[in-house]
Amino acid sequence: MLGRKKIGLIFTFFVIQICCAKNISRSSFPKGFVFGTASSAYQYEGAVKIEGRGSTIWDQFAHSSGKVIDLSNADVAVNQYHVYPGDIQLMKDLGMDAYRFSIAWSRIYPNGTGKINRAGIKHYNNLINALQANGIEPYVTIYHWDLPQSLEDRYTGWLNRQSIKDYAVYAETCFKEFGDRVKHWITFNEPHTFAVQGYDIGLEAPGRCSILLHSFCRAGNSATEPYIVGHNVLLSHAAAVDIYKKKYQPKQRGSIGISLDSFWYESKTNSSEDIEATQRAIDWNLGWFLEPLILGDYPNSMKTRVGSRLPRFTQAESSKLKGSFNFIGINHYTTWYANVNHTNLIGVLLNDSLADSGAIILPFKDGKPIADRANSIWLYIVPHGIRSLMNYIREKYGNPLVIITENGMDDENSPLVSIKDALKDTKRIKYHNDYLTNLLAAIVEDGCNVKGYFAWSLLDNWEWAAGFSSRFGLYYVDYNDKLKRYAKDSVKWFKNFLSS
The set of residues, in sequence order, having a beta carbon less than 8 Å from that of 85 and lying 6+ positions away, is 130
How confident is the model over 32-42, as pLDDT tens digits?
A: 999 999 999 99
Q: What is the mean pLDDT of residues 82-100?
A: 98
* pLDDT score of 184: 99
Residues recognised as catalytic: 190, 406
pLDDT at 132 over 50: yes
With CA atoms as reference, report the closest residue to 477 among 469, 465, 485, 487. 485
Q: What is the pLDDT of residue 216?
A: 74
Confidence of residue 9 (pLDDT cuts 50, 70, 90): very low
At 269, the pLDDT band (50, 70, 90 cuts) reads very high
User: φ, ψ for residue 178 (rounded to 5)?
Assistant: -120, -10
Q: Give the HSE-up count for residue 369: Cα atoms under 13 Å, Cβ half-sphere.
A: 11
Separation between Cα atoms, residue 425 and residue 422, nearest integer Å: 7
pLDDT at 23: 86
Give 33-69 pLDDT, tens digit per residue. 999 999 999 999 999 999 999 999 999 999 998 899 9
- Does residue 72 carry a pLDDT above 70? yes
Nearest to 84 by CA among 121, 45, 118, 52: 45
pLDDT at 13 over 50: no
Q: Are strands 470-471 and 411-412 parallel, antiparallel or unpaired?
A: antiparallel
Give Cβ neighbours of residue 224 (< 8 Å, ≥ 6 apart). 309
Mean pLDDT within 214-239: 93
pLDDT of 342 reads: 87
Q: In the predicted model, what is the mean pLDDT of the chain?
A: 94
Is the pLDDT assigned to residue 189 strictly greater than 50?
Answer: yes
Count of CA atoms in the C-beta half-sphere (13 A) of 22 = 14
- Confidence (pLDDT) at 346: 53
Interval 364-413: pLDDT, tens: 999 999 999 999 999 999 999 999 999 999 999 999 999 999 999 999 99
Q: Is the pTM of this model over 0.85?
A: yes
Query: Tens digits of per-residue pLDDT, 288-323?
Result: 999 999 999 999 999 999 999 999 999 999 999 999
* DSSP letter for each residue of 343-397: S-HHHHHH-SHHHHT-EEEESEETTEESS-B-SSTT-B--THHHHHHHHHHHHHH
351 has pLDDT over 80: no
Mean pLDDT over 266-281 rounds to: 98
Looking at residues 180-193, what average pLDDT do you find?
A: 98
Beta carbons of 484 and 476 less than 8 angstroms apart: no
